[in-house]
Structure 1
């Protein structure tokens, strides 16, 4: 009988990491890691910025490393500089180069000028976060023979009972009577975390090498929030549409083409109301 995959999952205490750990544990041996607070009883502390990964790989006979931690986001903070990120990322990936490496990137790697980006479109990040993502992606592709880079867009919904911070914060504001405006001409590709985690799990355990966009259909930020709040039965009088100006510093359309995802995976993407309604029914 063959041994199940031994997976080291970096970032198991995060929003996606929690759901992904639970999903992978159904079929694989998973060693979750955390930086500050553990979410799983057998989680191991690992800090990307200070720790060596090699001892964990050796101790647990790891053959697959899933990088779901938000190092690229953290490094967008002025407390970290780009040179340090590149150095630490290179050190991490070099140590993992004999493993299969799964790196969770995002649509933030694109400039938002065209939308419906495919996996072969050249990254052109316009933000520090996007440039950090590009740095990680390039190092993974340069140093690893067996890798899969996965790019989600907006992930939303309940992760092991906790609603994502975007929807949770908006719900609090609307219930408090606040007024908030969102862009009707900023496009994303939202996907419920309850669907993203199984998709990423399948790609992790597959032999596929390359980049895959794991996302849903294009949707404006305003429509996404309106549909979500209506599905959560939150009054939307304080949720107002507005248009982003042409010279705004935000990427306008980072929606993702998901043709490859549908070729590789058997997935029927749920709409925002469908996904939130299904999760609500599972929680009650």
Structure 2
């Protein structure tokens, strides 16, 4: 694609999608879609399960598509498969970057690399595997991006995980989180920047865009400390042996670092910078 062509962001109203749009608007002509809630004045309504994306592609000079819509949360595997096949066929001649996640793995060994085979254990993970497979089969010029936990402030709003923990602790409640469940958290702005970089990059395949391996408890502890929240009542506990819990879906992101020359920013630095940019040293008062 070239600078005269537009980039289409599907799912621009989502937590990551809106951050991608914010960064892209300063670099490229952007077209964006929403399903229920348009956050941008020129946003186009698009129903992934009922609409054909061609009606947008045919009217716009689209050179690349970034798919950041959380359609995989739908419980109907066949519905997701059919809709993604229709979508991929329409986009097969364009660059497409599909946002997947660490939920595609079974969560046994951790630090999964792009060479590890997916083995999803949940409906969400199975939908991710279906979508990844379709994108890889129909589209020649594709990049599948797998993040882990996405955190930070997007459009002035703190991510739902940290927002909930922060709210409970500040109201005097107790929060207990697993100290033996592991993820690879990375800030939303760094992930959005990576997605844009990979959209332009001449690379086809899967890339893990993620931070360092941390337990869920440790992640929240560091984040709350950075947000100046008292962590006296933030406790860690062991994860129960129960089907449905994925113990360690942490990701090895060395390929992303090699491709882009980027290193993951640490949690404290990320949140302090974002709070400073918002004019608030702790995120207090932000919705």
| TM-score between both structures, scaled by the size of structure 1 | 0.95
CA–CA distance in structure 1, aligned partners of residues 4 and 211 of structure 2:
30
1:187 aligns with 2:182: yes
2:258 to 241, 247, 263: 263
Query: In structure 2, the residue corresponding to 1:63 is in which secondary structure?
Result: strand
1:222 aligns with 2:217: yes
- 1:147–1:210 Cα contact (<8 Å) kept: yes
- 1:4–1:27 Cα contact (<8 Å) kept: no
Query: In structure 2, the residue corresponding to 1:279 is in which secondary structure?
Result: helix
Alpha-carbon shift at residue 246 of structure 1 (Å): 3.5
Query: In structure 1, the residue corresponding to 2:62 is in which secondary structure?
Result: coil
Alpha-carbon shift at residue 207 of structure 1 (Å): 1.3
CA–CA distance in structure 2, aligned partners of residues 127 and 216 of structure 1:
23
1:157 aligns with 2:152: yes
For residues 52-78 of structure 1, what are the alpha-carbon distances to aligned partners after superposition, in whole Å with 9 as ceiling and x for unaligned?
A: 1101001002121110000002x13xx
Alpha-carbon shift at residue 248 of structure 1 (Å): 4.7
For residues 144-180 of structure 1, what are the alpha-carbon distances to aligned partners after superposition, in whole Å with 9 as ceiling and x for unaligned?
A: 0000000000010001211111111111111122212
CA–CA distance in structure 1, aligned partners of residues 216 and 235 of structure 2:
11
CA–CA distance in structure 2, aligned partners of residues 148 and 23 of structure 1:
19
For residues 13-40 of structure 1, what are the alpha-carbon distances to aligned partners after superposition, in whole Å with 9 as ceiling and x for unaligned?
A: 1100010011122221110100011111
- 2:5–2:61 Cα contact (<8 Å) kept: no
1:201 to 192, 196, 205: 196
RMSD of equivalent CA atoms: 1.1
**Paired position in structure 1 for 2:233:** 238
**Paired position in structure 2 for 1:96:** 91
**Paired position in structure 1 for 2:117:** 122
- 2:3–2:28 Cα contact (<8 Å) kept: no
For residues 91-150 of structure 1, what are the alpha-carbon distances to aligned partners after superposition, in whole Å with 9 as ceiling and x for unaligned?
A: 111111111111000000000101010001000010111001000000000100000000
Q: How does 1:38-187 map to 2 (within 5 A)?
A: 38-73=38-73, 75-76=74-75, 81-187=76-182
Runs of 5+ unmatched residues, structure 1? none
Query: In structure 2, the residue corresponding to 1:170 is in which secondary structure?
Result: helix
Change (3 A) 1:5 1:216: farther
Runs of 5+ unmatched residues, structure 2? 280-287
2:206 to 196, 204, 211: 211
1:249 to 226, 244, 250: 244
| TM-score between both structures, scaled by the size of structure 2 | 0.94
Query: In structure 2, the residue corresponding to 1:33 is in which secondary structure?
Result: strand
